[in-house]
């Protein structure tokens, strides 16, 4: 299972479901870095030091960062989906389909 780092605005119910699926998810809040307006580069660098895949809704900035710094443990960008359980399942499936995740940029879009 994956080691993930969820960005500050990422829905907690998705994090909880990913944990139920066996993933090790650290939130920004749990890392003590909440409410610090950390630049996305710092989020990526922290995740890399912790060997965790970034999990975020902030697509545009992380697309750019992936292009500038492709040597990272992985980045998963998602569109917001109010069906949190299904979103977590899609993330879980994307992780399984993209092993190994290191250096990859994975998009997980809302189901339709």
Average pLDDT, the chain: 92
> Which CATH number is 17's domain given?
3.40.50
Burial annotation 12-40 (CB, 10 A radius, 16+ → b, else e): eebbebbeebebebbbbeebeeeeeebeb
pLDDT reported for residue 35 = 67
Q: What share of the chain is helix, strand, coil (3-state, %, to 5)?
A: 40, 20, 45
pLDDT > 60? residue 112: no
Place of tokens 């499936």: 93
69-88 pLDDT, tens per residue?
Answer: 999 999 999 999 999 999 99
Residue 77 CB neighbour total at 10 angstroms: 21
Q: What is the domain count for the chain? A: 1
pLDDT reported for residue 50 = 96
The parent domain of residue 46 ranges over: 3-108
**What is the mean pLDDT of the segment spanning 40-59?**
94
pTM score, two decimals? 0.92
């Amino acid at each position: 299972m994956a080691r993930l780092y969820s960005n500050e605005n990422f829905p907690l119910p998705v994090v909880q479901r990913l944990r139920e699926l066996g993933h090790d998810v650290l939130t920004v809040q749990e890392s003590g870095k909440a409410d610090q307006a950390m630049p996305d580069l710092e989020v990526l660098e922290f995740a890399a030091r912790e060997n965790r895949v970034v999990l975020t809704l902030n697509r545009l900035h992380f697309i750019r960062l992936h292009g500038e710094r492709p040597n990272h443990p992985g980045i998963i960008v998602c569109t917001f989906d109010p069906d949190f359980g299904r979103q977590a399942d899609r993330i879980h499936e994307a992780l399984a389909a993209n092993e190994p995740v290191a250096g990859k940029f994975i998009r997980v879009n809302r189901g339709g």
